Structure 1
């Protein structure tokens, strides 16, 4: 039986949406228990069935606008910190929050702890692939680290490959380096160095590196794992999400205000439009994962629905049942000399 520690107070509509998502996931996951940390006078009345749900009082909650690292270090009675400490002390197997992203990252790194041999844990998400062999691809880092060195990007390729193989069941996932051109000598020095590290890793069968990929093409599925520094990855992710929302909003407005013919056409296109909307809905993929720490640490969007939170719990269960973290730790330990040499070369 797995235990997921839940920050019940994290999220725009917490704890209502969090509790609803947990109860939905509980009914789908008979091998999972949920430990909810929060203000019990708000949380307990929302729970319809206490089966495999336990509650722990937390007097404090970290808000979205709070300073992340300081809050994690000083607010020991907050729901997020208490949930993270439960994982740290072996009282739970994974950590979930829909709250402050920076605070969750800090809790994952400083409390749960990074895997020995991984120099920089990163934030990973899934995006839809409109072409190629698979329906989605892994992208990391999407915001944990604004400044990176080349060896960090190499590690992201390794971590992302493990997730794509173990959770998405992709055979030999293709790793691409997000860059401003497909040629090997494109980009700044860090990206040129990262390209060479990934290329060397490919030669040693550590990653299946397929070269540089450009932002204009990543949704076409040229790679199963797209590697980026955190600043570029976050900007790219938000540009994609913003463009998708704008296109759908524009299309809806045009069909609604284009006269009788447009409305008749919209009726005929409705099934297709619903399918497109589903493809672009990030909630279907679960949450963003902090990869490189000693337990699954997963973040749902602050505005995530109960269905999205439920999907994220299913995602966490998949990480636990596949023993993803132990497999990563074993791989890193077996290749510690190679990884250490790469890190030293970038100091």
Structure 2
């Protein structure tokens, strides 16, 4: 009987230290250590993130191995995020993974962070409907650093159909939240305060970008101008209308994303849509896409369980496993990269 490989995945592209162990697409452990130090700065400070990863990574690996109930010598390969991301944190993860690989004399597998978000859908029971998307499918990757529509023809055959021309959707939500006086990270705070709000109370402009690319800077500016104008008339405007403002912001954001995906469907004829990235856990975005699925029976939406949406080691481990099965191993001399590279 063929041995089922055990892969450890290490994620350190931003401010979360993630370590996971996977066997046969089943997650045996998935440890995430969040860095709370950035909250007081209103955003991620790269130098502090690197130091925190250095402090957390050994602890996270030990916890992942202990929870997985496998011995360190049973691990067949180590996978880690090579990029894109913050170069300091990436170097911490890469250095650890290389040492781990050399110490145990096991193969090294590098992972593209965006690709890993998409391939999270192939973790056993990662989707809310517990099924894998069939190829080809479209993936909407939405997070604090990325907003892209990607056509996925196979595990490692992907092409970008559209990207943001400026800010990512998560970045914009964080900036708007700051204007509202909410804590970092702003996206979850806007979602929290929107739950009892009227999402039709305020109307915000949508960008008019041709093709499948996104632009969120105009939307962000429109919201901030709106807030300043109302605050000049009533200094308590935000406090008195916070829920309605947040709900209206979420509705506009979800519609911008949904409308672009619908254009991608018409262009490609592909009706399978896999949402990925931290912002894909937003309930208004999920609700909007589920509503679209109900209206068009040809459409099939794949939604990840929340623990697999944000940066995590499991998405790195599953991508590593899929590369391992295809013998796509990497050299110890690879160098992390901060900017996105093509697949």
Shorter-chain TM-score: which interval?
Answer: 0.3 to 0.5
Higher normalized contact order (CA 8 Å, seq sep 6+, divided by chain length): 2
TM-score normalised by L of structure 2: 0.32
